[in-house]
């Protein structure tokens, strides 16, 4: 649960940083970005709780060694999907649009909806 403590402490730090940044600078853009960073760290912490609950990994054993884990199946990783790049680009457009121009944020939302629909269609 080291990862959980890392993400929760980082989320607490960025939350304190966002509040102090707002009190000192009164800058909405930086405060919103620090707030999004706090939210993202909390989402990762919640996912860590859910993922580690039923994982049953070899490294959870007290007497685990690298030699003992030889041949353990970790999972399936998709290496040839362009979806993470395009989703990241759409989210970046959305967040930059929230700070710079709301019309650009609308384009980011449209791109995310299109990519979501495309991923649903391709998964069937």
For position 14, what pLDDT does the model report?
97
DSSP assignment letter at 60? G
Return mean pLDDT, the chain: 83
The residues, ordered by sequence, that sit 6+ positions from 23 with a Cβ below 8 Å of its Cβ are none
Residue ranges making up the domain that contains 112 = 82-124
pLDDT band at 100 (very low <50, low <70, confident <90, very high): confident
Residue 57 lies inside a defined structural domain of this protein: yes
**pLDDT tens for each residue of 21-41:** 999 999 999 999 999 999 999
First to last CA, the chain: 36
Do 93 and 46 lie in one domain? The reply is no
Do 53 and 100 lie in one domain? The reply is no
The rounded distance, in Å, linking the Cα atoms of 8 and 28 is: 24
Residue 67 lies inside a defined structural domain of this protein: no
Do 91 and 44 lie in one domain? The reply is no
Which one of 12, 32, 62 terminates a domain? 62
Number of domains in the chain: 2
Regarding pTM above 0.75, the answer is no
Do 8 and 58 lie in one domain? The reply is yes
**Angle value at C-alpha 36, between 30 and 44, nearest 5 degrees:** 145
């Amino acid at each position: 649960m080291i990862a959980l403590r890392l993400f929760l402490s980082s989320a607490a730090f960025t939350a304190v940083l966002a509040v102090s940044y707002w009190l000192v600078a009164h800058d909405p853009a930086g405060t919103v970005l620090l707030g999004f960073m706090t939210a993202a760290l909390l989402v990762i912490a919640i996912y860590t709780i859910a993922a580690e609950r039923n994982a049953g990994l070899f490294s959870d054993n007290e007497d685990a060694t690298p030699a003992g884990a030889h041949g353990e199946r970790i999972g399936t990783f998709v290496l040839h999907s362009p979806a993470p790049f395009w989703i990241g680009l759409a989210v970046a457009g959305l967040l930059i649009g929230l700070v710079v121009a709301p019309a650009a944020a609308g384009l980011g939302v449209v791109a995310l909806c299109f990519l979501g629909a495309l991923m649903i269609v391709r998964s069937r």
